[in-house]
Chains A and B, each alone.
Chain A
């Protein structure tokens, strides 16, 4: 009398087990995919900043070339530009932090926003999957317990052995879910890092726009050195002007705990 009931329930149990295992594989696949996005972010940021600075240096070289070939033209531009102090800075900025560089900064910021959106979307989906797996695990546990009660004490030894195995699987999934709770916090760390990088970039762009370029048209080489020194100074100012990096973690191992 008991056996058919056990078999029917056991069928559900096996099906639930398969769904859980499948869902677990999916969540880890997405985690691996997201980790690759994070790695790409740091490379993207570094490459972006370096490229922006190269673009800036190139623009200075262009200025020097223009000045060498036609110093009058550049001087005329500068003279025309000097209307007021504000205008002076503004027009000079166009040369120092030219449209190309501005566009480059804009592109990097857009890329960072895109990475942020991708990570946020991934984390939302992962959390939904996580909740689903958690609910399934609870049902699975309850089902195994119920079947165990129905099967005992007359239940056959093979069925009880299988149920025991199912319990082990359920416990393992619960333990993996705990690990996933730690890993799923990567979204917060990444978002904070992206925010920090974006702020650094904005500060650098702003400082570069304020670099007071005073080209000595009679000593172009010296001017290039001066501009390079000013860029270096701007980077130093940008570094000191932004908040300290909020995330120094290099992996997703749990952090320290200290009770005061």
Chain B
């Protein structure tokens, strides 16, 4: 069964690169333009994995992470942070809020796929 990934980023080019990479590997990808859009979509549909940026308008990635973890369906769903932020303090916040992993941009397509396969198969 095809696994569905929610890709959240306010940058259209990043969303396109993520989609290109994941669709090429056989995943279904739904895009969200910010945290609020992601929350709306996550409440309507269940995803196998959420891949989200941090710095976004309206609801940022860390708030999205915290709010998703409050939803029953997303207590254990892997949530990966894909961000330019590489500071330890920010990573610690993400880890505490329940992030599954931290990927610093720019991502390499094959490494991104490796991580995703490791997390959801």
Contacts and interface: CB of A to CB of B under 8 A. Distances in A.
Interface of A: 123-124, 127, 130-131, 134, 178, 181-189, 191-192, 244, 246-249, 252-260
Contacts of A260: 95, 99-102
Contact of A189 (B100, B101, B105): B105
B115 A192 contact: no
| Number of chain B interface residues as a range | 20 to 34
A188 B101 contact: no
Given A178-B110, A246-B84, 18 more contacts: A131-B16, A134-B20, A181-B21, A182-B107, A182-B109, A185-B17, A186-B106, A188-B13, A189-B105, A189-B106, A192-B84, A244-B87, A246-B85, A249-B86, A252-B106, A257-B104, A258-B103, A259-B118
A254 B13 contact: no
Given A181-B20, A188-B13, A254 B108 contact: yes
Contacts of A246: 55, 84-85
21 contacts: A124-B13, A178-B108, A181-B108, A182-B109, A183-B106, A185-B17, A185-B105, A188-B14, A189-B84, A189-B106, A247-B84, A252-B106, A254-B107, A255-B105, A255-B107, A256-B86, A256-B103, A257-B111, A258-B102, A260-B99, A260-B101
Nearest to B80: A259
A247 B107 CA distance: 14
A184 B95 contact: no
B20 A258 contact: no
A188 B17 CA distance: 11
A183 B86 CA distance: 18
Given A185-B105, A185-B106, A259 B100 contact: yes
B81 to A, nearest CB: 10
